[in-house]
Amino acid sequence: MTGGAHGFDTAAALTILKIKDIFPQIKLILVLPCKNQARGWNKTDAETYNTVLSQADEILYTSERYYAGCMQKRNRCLVENSGYCICYLKKNSGGTKYTADYADKKGLKITMLT
């Protein structure tokens, strides 16, 4: 499961798509905050996002439209439906930090990539 955001989420999704031929049991499940998440993204990022969406095994939207707090709702959904958390934490604040802390609180095994 990945959240579909720029950066690490997209890199993780693309990696999953690349290795599915070798490990067909792996599924790409996108947990997205809203249906218009890519609104306002540049053309290249939006095209990559749409490619990932078109190849995902499952897409779950936690909200229909963007609202303050929908990203946090998506992050909580990811944690609550996972046994592991693999993340790339660059700073000690923000959404990724919140999600990693929430995953730790929920007892998930956490792998921090550097």
Of the candidates 83, 84, 77, 80, the one whose C-alpha atom is nearest the C-alpha of residue 32 is 77
Output the domain CATH number for residue 59.
3.40.50.450
pLDDT in tens, 38-89: 999 999 999 999 999 999 999 999 999 999 999 999 999 999 999 999 999 8
What's the pLDDT band for 114 if we cut at 50, 70, 90? Answer: confident
Cα 28 to chain centroid, rounded: 10
Mean pLDDT confidence for 14-40: 95
User: Is residue 87 domain-resident?
Assistant: yes
**Structural domain harbouring 30:** 8-113
The answer to the question of residue 3 being in a domain is no
pTM of the model: 0.92
The predicted structure's pLDDT at residue 11? 96
How many structural domains are present in the chain? 1
Flag whether 43 is in a domain: yes
Predicted local distance difference test score (pLDDT) of residue 81? 96
